[in-house]
Structure 1
């Protein structure tokens, strides 16, 4: 995109230009799941409502990816590709659309992170990764399935992951909380906070909406860099289908910059009126905004899961959930115990799973390896 010294937010390309790029139709990868379904959940909790889920891979190590506010399960596509396709013999990856998004239902009711955690737990029981009634006081998991779950949650997904760990701590092999918070707190002045909240409800053009999300999620320095995403190859990678919409196009393409790839993904999501709705977004926003785990509850999570099994990751340039939130989460969960793993990254934004893909995968593999060893298993 040219010299980084000359680049500003205003020099980034408009959404209309990105839509015309040949790579646009290839932005969302067609990764064929090993298993998938729509599960009715929440009977007696305001449901039933259907949750869309997928499992990629057939390996013995079970990874549970929980996505954040206003995002679909396909936002994990880099992790799904790496763990569930390129390393399908080692890992099984479960990802789902939280209620309100994607192919899951959008019930008009009060959402909470604890209820969304219960949705996920029902899915985990349905696919056989938990006992049939995991929240029953008389439930006992099969010894071979105890502490078998590696839970990775980002942003609001990290809040849901906290609730999962609070409900089923004995099933967690590792708990990985990315760019998240125990509770959303005001780290600005009162009037700045009021303006930020008001802006979320003000109708915006598609251009302004995507640009605003970009500024909160990633640093400009990453956006202007060349798009070097590792693309799936339908010819060599198992269960990777060619891009949609063209019988002639049999490969995935690069954009000019990371920003263009981000915009393409956002546009494909936001222009899908069935899978991304304003009501679903606002209901999830309420859940995230009202999430609250007290220091006492977090200490309970840490003690029941085990601090040596917990990772908290945060970037100092995170503008969506600012770094002081991460610092408090580390403090509350760590309790001064160095066994907890705190990863603070200078200059990193809100989405390390996209911004620093290879590094992130390496960190997760190390965490997974440690959890498996603690449980007397080894990664194949």
Structure 2
């Protein structure tokens, strides 16, 4: 169990594979296990993969007050420094994509390439979670029934087509129960997301960027991907038809291959 101290706060991380470093930044409530072994394993065939728990979540040290997306980007930059990473391919999904946006704007030299998955930039035209899905998640988390909360997350994060296969439920349930995600921290993460807005600055990002978004994303709807792509005209935009929010969970091999191709192309540029 690897730990690193950043600005007096302890962060949990896992590192495996060989090749150029690739840093994975998780989303709201997500821990290192939420990447899933199929996706991480596929990336580890080509990269030195680092997955960590954001501040206050999973096996990282708890927090005692609010924080911002910018501060989480500062955490990430400092963590990279502590791990001796001069630069890396950076993959951020959902809230992790917001962190990656701020990191790319503040510290572009830390990135070989950037992948923004199922994420959001704030500002005009952006869309947060549809009300129906938000109420489903809130009801699950407020019920006091852990399995009900996990079921709500399963339904909101994954596409109907994927969930039609009943064998997809046990791995998701195991992932959601294996590492803790404190409700109080999730609420602080949500507050940080509400304050995020890079819409007027995305055009300043010069790091080679790949945008990935599923068309039936129930958390951060597909128009968010279209908006980010319109604000970053030099970026590559990959649309995953009939795929939900957790695209890497639904299509681990394809997702890993898209990222691998992008990272290799950035290395040749």
TM-score (norm 1): 0.65
Match of 2:83 in 1: 127
Q: Shift in Å at residue 224 of structure 1?
A: 2.7
Match of 1:11 in 2: none
1:26-69, CA deviations, whole angstroms, 9 ceiling, x for partnerless residues? xxxxxxxxxx6322223xxxxx211112221242x110111111
Identify the match of residue 80 of structure 1 among 25, 40, 44.
40
Identify the match of residue 118 of structure 1 among 63, 74, 81.
74
SS state at 2:194 partner: helix
SS state at 1:39 partner: strand
Judging changes above 3 Å, is the alpha-carbon distance between structure 1 residues 359 and 161 closer, same or farther for their aligned structure 2 residues? same
Judging changes above 3 Å, is the alpha-carbon distance between structure 1 residues 220 and 195 closer, same or farther for their aligned structure 2 residues? closer
Match of 1:62 in 2: 21
RMSD: 2.4
Q: Shift in Å at residue 310 of structure 1?
A: 0.7
Match of 2:153 in 1: 213
1:56-92, CA deviations, whole angstroms, 9 ceiling, x for partnerless residues? 1242x110111111111122233332233xx2xx421
> Structure 1: which 5+ residue stretches go unaligned?
1-35, 43-47, 131-147, 226-255, 270-274, 375-380
Q: Shift in Å at residue 195 of structure 1?
A: 5.3
Match of 2:182 in 1: 277
Identify the match of residue 342 of structure 1 among 237, 248, 264.
237
Identify the match of residue 171 of structure 2 among 239, 261, 266.
261
- Larger strand proportion of the pair: 2
- Larger helix proportion of the pair: 2
The reply to whether residue 357 of structure 1 matches residue 252 of structure 2 is: yes
Q: Which aligned pairs between 1:158-237 and structure 2 lie closer than 5 A?
A: 158-183=97-122, 185-186=126-127, 199=139, 202-225=142-165
Q: Shift in Å at residue 284 of structure 1?
A: 1.6
Judging changes above 3 Å, is the alpha-carbon distance between structure 1 residues 186 and 171 closer, same or farther for their aligned structure 2 residues? closer
1:333-353, CA deviations, whole angstroms, 9 ceiling, x for partnerless residues? 22xxxx320111221101111
Contact 1:53 1:123 in 2 (8 A): no
- Residues of 2 paired with 1:115 and 1:159: CA distance? 11
SS state at 2:54 partner: coil
- Residues of 1 paired with 2:157 and 2:60: CA distance? 24
The reply to whether residue 299 of structure 1 matches residue 203 of structure 2 is: yes
Q: Shift in Å at residue 203 of structure 1?
A: 3.5
Contact 2:127 2:224 in 1 (8 A): no
Contact 2:161 2:242 in 1 (8 A): no
Judging changes above 3 Å, is the alpha-carbon distance between structure 1 residues 51 and 218 closer, same or farther for their aligned structure 2 residues? same
The reply to whether residue 41 of structure 1 matches residue 1 of structure 2 is: no
SS state at 2:263 partner: helix
Tell me the matched-pair count: 266
1:113-147, CA deviations, whole angstroms, 9 ceiling, x for partnerless residues? 111111111111111112xxxxxxxxxxxxxxxxx
Q: Which aligned pairs between 1:300-339 and structure 2 lie closer than 5 A?
A: 300-301=204-205, 304-305=206-207, 309-334=208-233, 339=234
SS state at 1:64 partner: strand
- Residues of 2 paired with 1:330 and 1:361: CA distance? 20
